[in-house]
Amino acid sequence: MTEATSPATVPQWTLGDRMRKARETAGLKQTDMAEEIGIGRSSIINYESNRAQPPRPVLVAWALRCAVPYEWLTGEPVFKRRGGIRTARFSTFPPVTSADLCALAA
């Protein structure tokens, strides 16, 4: 007789998990990320450990710097109506230049 196995569960990533994953995939250390988007390293630590909620400008800068869709980073897809059907639209970002980051910081 075989035992019943529990159904597979899909891991749920928090915002902090996705922020950390994006930063690491971009090859950035916490100190590098903090310097590039103009925030303190302690803020990076707090965001990635879900102790603080980052403001929208930080999320936008993070997504741009890591070249990930903002929608993926926040876990909130943007829905558009097409022919009466709601579909998720995930965008991609072009590569980020230092000029882009400077413009965001200004």
Own/partner pairs, 77-85, CB within 8 angstroms, 24+ separation? none
Q: Which domain holds residue 21?
A: 15-105
Any domain includes 97 = yes
Answer yes or no: pTM beyond 0.85: no
Burial class (CB in 10 A: 0-12, 13-18, 19+), 97: exposed
**Percentage above 90 pLDDT, the chain:** 57
pLDDT tens digits along 58-73: 999 999 999 999 999 9
Any domain includes 24 = yes
The total of structural domains in the chain comes to 1
Any domain includes 30 = yes
Residues of the chain under the 70 pLDDT cut: 1-7, 77-106
Q: Which of 63, 80, 81 is nearest to 72 (CA)?
A: 63
Any domain includes 6 = no
Would you say the C-alpha torsion 26, 34, 32, 97 has a positive or negative sign? positive
Q: What's the pLDDT score for residue 9?
A: 78
Q: CATH number of the domain that 35 lies in?
A: 1.10.260.40
Q: What's the pLDDT score for residue 90?
A: 47
Any domain includes 1 = no
CB–CB of 16/48 below 8 Å? yes
